[in-house]
Chains A and B, each alone.
Chain A
Amino acid sequence: MDLFRIFYKWAIAALFVTWLPLITGCDKLLDAGSPPNKVITPQVYKSDSLAQAALIGIYFKMMENFGPHNGYMSRFPGFSCDELFRTNTIEQDQPFLTNTIPSNNLTIWFIWTNTYGYIYQCNDVVEGLTGPNSITPALRNQLLGEAYFLRAFSYFYLVNLYGDVPLVLTTNYSQSARIPRTPIDDVYKQMIDDLKAAQDLLTNEYVTTPDYPTARVRVNRLAVKALMARIYLYRGEWANAAGSATEVIQSDSYQLETNVQQSFRYDSKEAILQFMPVSNAYNTAEGSMFVPIVPNGRPAIILCDSILKYMDPLDKRKAWVRTVTVGGKQYNSPYKYKLNTGTPREEYNMVLRLAEQYCIRAEARAMQGQLPDAVNDLNTVRKRAGLPDLTNITTQTQALVAVEQERRMELFAEWGHRWFDLKRWPAITPTHPDEKRIDEVMNALRPATWKTTAVLWPIPNSEIIRNPSLTQNEGYN
Chain B
Amino acid sequence: MKKVLGYLVMVCCISVVKGQDEVPGRQGHSLEKALKVLKSKGLFKDVVTDKRLMKLAEPVYVPLDIADDSLLQRIFAEQPYLKYNLIANRLAISRKTDAEIESSRAHFERKVNGIVLTDASSPVQDASVQLRSRRYGVATDSLGNFSIVWSAGDTLDITHVNYKPVSLAWKGTGKSINVQLVLKDPMPPVAITTGYFSREKGSTAGGSQVKVGNFPNTDVLKIIHENIPGVFAPPSSGLPGTTHKFQFRGPTSLGAIVELNYRPSNSPLFIVNGIPWAPSLRPVNQLTTMVGVPSAPGVGATGFDPFFTINPLDIESITVLKDAEATAIYGARGANGVIIITTKKSTSKKPRLVVSASYGVGYSLPAMSLMNTSQYLAMRREAFRNDNITPTPARAPDLLLWDTTRYMDYNKLLLSGTANNLNEHFSFSQGDSLFQFLLNGGFSSQTSALPSNIYGKRWSLLSDFSFRSKNRKIKTGITAYVSTSENKWLSDNVMFATLLAPNAPYLTDSAGNLNWKDKGVPFRNPLSYFRNTDFIHTGNALFHTYLQYKILPKLRFETSVGYQQINVEEENKFPISAQNPDPTPTGIYNEAQNRFTTWIVEPGLHYTDTILKKVQVQGLLGASWSSQENDRWRRSYTGYTNDGLLGIPEDAQGSNYFSDKSRYLFLSTFARLKLNYKNIYFLSLIVRRDGSSRFGPENRYANFGAIGAGWIFWENANKTSFAKLRGSFGSTGNDQIGDYAYLNTWNTAAQYYQGLPGIYPTGLANPYYQWEVTRKLEAGVELHLNDNLSAIITGYRNRSKNQVMNFLLPGQVGFGNIVKNFPAIIQNTGIEADIAYKKTWGNFSWCNKLTLAIPQNKLIRFDDLENSGYAKYLMIGKPLNIGIVQRFAGVDGNTGLFTIADPEERLAINLDPVFFGGFRNSFRFKQVELTTYLEFRRQKAPHFMSYIYSNSNLSPGQTNIDFYTNQPVELENRWRQQGDEATWQKVSTLTSSTVKNAIGNWVNSDAQLVDASYLRMKNVQLAFTLPDGFCKKRFIKAASVYANAENLFTITPFKGADPELQTPFSLPLQRTFTIGLQVTL
Q: Which residues of A contact B (CB under 8 A)?
A: 3-5, 7-12, 14-16, 18-19, 22, 26-27, 29-42, 44, 50, 52-61, 63-64, 89-91, 94, 109, 112-113, 116-117, 119-121, 123-124, 165-166, 168, 171, 173, 176-177, 179, 207-212, 215, 217-218, 276, 278-281, 293-294, 327, 342-343, 460, 462-463, 465-468, 470
| Inter-chain contact A30/B692, CB cutoff 8 Å | yes
Give the Cβ gap from A48 to chain B, nearest Cβ, in Å. Answer: 12
| Inter-chain contact B747/A38, CB cutoff 8 Å | yes
Residues of chain A with a CB closer than 8 A to B740's CB: 32, 34-35, 38
| Inter-chain contact A112/B811, CB cutoff 8 Å | yes
Q: How far is the CA of A9 from the CA of B547 in the complex (A)?
A: 12
| Inter-chain contact A35/B667, CB cutoff 8 Å | no
| Inter-chain contact B810/A177, CB cutoff 8 Å | yes
Q: From the candidates B557, B764, B811, B996, name the one contacting A11 in the complex (CB within 8 A).
A: B557
| Inter-chain contact A36/B661, CB cutoff 8 Å | yes
Q: How far is the CA of A343 from the CA of B640 in the complex (A)?
A: 12
Residues of chain B with a CB closer than 8 A to A342's CB: 638-639, 653-654
| Inter-chain contact A278/B814, CB cutoff 8 Å | no
Give the Cβ gap from B450 to chain A, nearest Cβ, in Å. Answer: 30
| Inter-chain contact A177/B812, CB cutoff 8 Å | yes
| Inter-chain contact B469/A30, CB cutoff 8 Å | no
Q: How far is the CA of A7 from the CA of B754 in the complex (A)?
A: 63
Q: How far is the CA of A61 from the CA of B750 in the complex (A)?
A: 10
Q: How far is the CA of A414 from the CA of B762 in the complex (A)?
A: 31
The verdict on B824 contacting chain A, using a C-beta distance below 8 Å, is no
| Inter-chain contact A54/B665, CB cutoff 8 Å | no
Nearest-CB residue, chain A, relative to B631: A36
Q: How far is the CA of A58 from the CA of B476 in the complex (A)?
A: 57
| Inter-chain contact A171/B665, CB cutoff 8 Å | no
Give the Cβ gap from B355 to chain A, nearest Cβ, in Å. Answer: 34
| Given A91-B952, A176-B813, A212-B754, A60 contacting B760 (CB threshold 8 A) | yes
Q: How large is the interface on B (under 10, 10 to 19, 20 to 34, 35 or more residues)?
A: 35 or more
Residues of chain A with a CB closer than 8 A to B642's CB: none
Q: From the candidates A11, A18, A57, name the one contacting B601 in the complex (CB within 8 A).
A: A18
| Inter-chain contact A280/B656, CB cutoff 8 Å | yes
| Inter-chain contact B639/A343, CB cutoff 8 Å | yes
Nearest-CB residue, chain B, relative to A7: B474
Residues of chain A with a CB closer than 8 A to B869's CB: 462, 465-466
| Inter-chain contact A44/B759, CB cutoff 8 Å | yes
Nearest-CB residue, chain B, relative to A466: B810
Chain A facing B: main interface SS: helix
Q: How far is the CA of A173 from the CA of B660 in the complex (A)?
A: 26
Q: How far is the CA of A142 from the CA of B681 in the complex (A)?
A: 77
The verdict on B87 contacting chain A, using a C-beta distance below 8 Å, is no
- Segment at the interface with A among B6-14, B835-843, B905-913: B6-14
| Inter-chain contact A113/B816, CB cutoff 8 Å | yes
| Given A41-B761, A293-B583, A57 contacting B639 (CB threshold 8 A) | no
Q: From the candidates A7, A59, A109, A343, name the one contacting B469 in the complex (CB within 8 A).
A: A7
| Given A22-B625, A120-B813, A281-B654, A34 contacting B760 (CB threshold 8 A) | no
Give the Cβ gap from A275 to chain B, nearest Cβ, in Å. Answer: 9
| Inter-chain contact B667/A116, CB cutoff 8 Å | no
Residues of chain B with a CB closer than 8 A to A26's CB: 667, 691
Give the Cβ gap from B33 to chain A, nearest Cβ, in Å. Answer: 41
Residues of chain B with a CB closer than 8 A to A91's CB: 952, 991, 996
The verdict on B753 contacting chain A, using a C-beta distance below 8 Å, is yes
| Inter-chain contact A466/B808, CB cutoff 8 Å | yes
The verdict on B663 contacting chain A, using a C-beta distance below 8 Å, is yes
Residues of chain A with a CB closer than 8 A to B582's CB: 294
Residues of chain A with a CB closer than 8 A to B743's CB: 34-35, 40-41
Residues of chain A with a CB closer than 8 A to B601's CB: 18
Q: How far is the CA of A202 from the CA of B206 in the complex (A)?
A: 69
| Inter-chain contact B760/A61, CB cutoff 8 Å | yes
Nearest-CB residue, chain A, relative to B550: A11
Residues of chain A with a CB closer than 8 A to B693's CB: 30-32
Give the Cβ gap from B720 to chain A, nearest Cβ, in Å. Answer: 39
| Inter-chain contact B700/A173, CB cutoff 8 Å | no
Residues of chain B with a CB closer than 8 A to A468's CB: 867
Residues of chain A with a CB closer than 8 A to B754's CB: 56, 59, 207-209, 211-212, 215, 217-218, 276
Give the Cβ gap from A349 to chain B, nearest Cβ, in Å. Answer: 12
Residues of chain A with a CB closer than 8 A to B664's CB: 32
Q: How far is the CA of A4 from the CA of B549 in the complex (A)?
A: 11
Per the 8 Å Cβ criterion, residues 971-994 of B in contact with A are: 990-993
Give the Cβ gap from A68 to chain B, nearest Cβ, in Å. Answer: 12
Residues of chain B with a CB closer than 8 A to A12's CB: 5, 8-9, 12
Give the Cβ gap from B991 to chain A, nearest Cβ, in Å. Answer: 5
Residues of chain B with a CB closer than 8 A to A15's CB: 557, 559, 603
Q: From the candidates B656, B761, B811, name the one contacting A109 in the complex (CB within 8 A).
A: B811
| Inter-chain contact B639/A280, CB cutoff 8 Å | yes
Residues of chain B with a CB closer than 8 A to A55's CB: 758
Q: How far is the CA of A61 from the CA of B761 in the complex (A)?
A: 10
Known: A15-B557, A63-B753, A342-B639. 20 other contacts (CB 8 A): A7-B474, A8-B549, A10-B547, A12-B12, A26-B667, A29-B667, A29-B691, A36-B662, A37-B659, A40-B745, A58-B758, A58-B760, A60-B751, A61-B760, A89-B991, A165-B812, A176-B813, A209-B754, A278-B753, A294-B582
Give the Cβ gap from B624 to chain A, nearest Cβ, in Å. Answer: 10
Q: Which 10 A-B pairs have the closest CB atoms?
A: A120-B814, A280-B654, A113-B811, A211-B755, A467-B810, A41-B744, A56-B758, A32-B693, A57-B760, A18-B603
| Given A12-B9, A18-B559, A173-B809, A37 contacting B759 (CB threshold 8 A) | no
Nearest-CB residue, chain B, relative to A295: B583
| Inter-chain contact A121/B583, CB cutoff 8 Å | no
The verdict on B186 contacting chain A, using a C-beta distance below 8 Å, is no
The verdict on B868 contacting chain A, using a C-beta distance below 8 Å, is yes
Give the Cβ gap from B188 to chain A, nearest Cβ, in Å. Answer: 41
| Inter-chain contact B745/A56, CB cutoff 8 Å | no
The verdict on B884 contacting chain A, using a C-beta distance below 8 Å, is no
Nearest-CB residue, chain A, relative to B549: A11
Contact with A along B569-607 (1 / 0, CB 8 A): 000000000000011000000000000000001010000
The verdict on B1030 contacting chain A, using a C-beta distance below 8 Å, is no
The verdict on B713 contacting chain A, using a C-beta distance below 8 Å, is no
The verdict on B844 contacting chain A, using a C-beta distance below 8 Å, is no
Give the Cβ gap from B16 to chain A, nearest Cβ, in Å. Answer: 6
| Inter-chain contact A60/B758, CB cutoff 8 Å | yes
Q: How far is the CA of A90 from the CA of B693 in the complex (A)?
A: 47
| Given A10-B547, A173-B818, A177-B809, A32 contacting B663 (CB threshold 8 A) | yes
Nearest-CB residue, chain A, relative to B16: A4
Q: How far is the CA of A327 from the CA of B752 in the complex (A)?
A: 43
The verdict on B23 contacting chain A, using a C-beta distance below 8 Å, is no
Give the Cβ gap from A187 to chain B, nearest Cβ, in Å. Answer: 12
Residues of chain B with a CB closer than 8 A to A293's CB: 583
Q: From the candidates A39, A165, A463, A470, name the one contacting B746 in the complex (CB within 8 A).
A: A39
Residues of chain B with a CB closer than 8 A to A470's CB: 810
Can you list 16 A-B contacts with CB-CB less than 8 angstroms, sorted by A residue number? A5-B13, A15-B603, A27-B697, A30-B693, A38-B746, A57-B760, A91-B991, A117-B814, A168-B814, A176-B814, A177-B810, A211-B755, A278-B750, A460-B811, A465-B867, A466-B811
Q: How far is the CA of A109 from the CA of B811 in the complex (A)?
A: 9
Nearest-CB residue, chain A, relative to B585: A293
| Inter-chain contact A463/B810, CB cutoff 8 Å | yes
Residues of chain A with a CB closer than 8 A to B760's CB: 54, 57-58, 60-61, 121
Give the Cβ gap from B589 to chain A, nearest Cβ, in Å. Answer: 13
| Given A32-B663, A34-B743, A278-B753, A7 contacting B812 (CB threshold 8 A) | no
| Inter-chain contact A89/B990, CB cutoff 8 Å | yes
| Given A29-B665, A30-B667, A57 contacting B749 (CB threshold 8 A) | yes
Q: How far is the CA of A8 from the CA of B469 in the complex (A)?
A: 11
Residues of chain A with a CB closer than 8 A to B583's CB: 293-294
Give the Cβ gap from B662 to chain A, nearest Cβ, in Å. Answer: 6
Give the Cβ gap from A174 to chain B, nearest Cβ, in Å. Answer: 9
The verdict on B739 contacting chain A, using a C-beta distance below 8 Å, is yes
Give the Cβ gap from A146 to chain B, nearest Cβ, in Å. Answer: 12
The verdict on B757 contacting chain A, using a C-beta distance below 8 Å, is yes
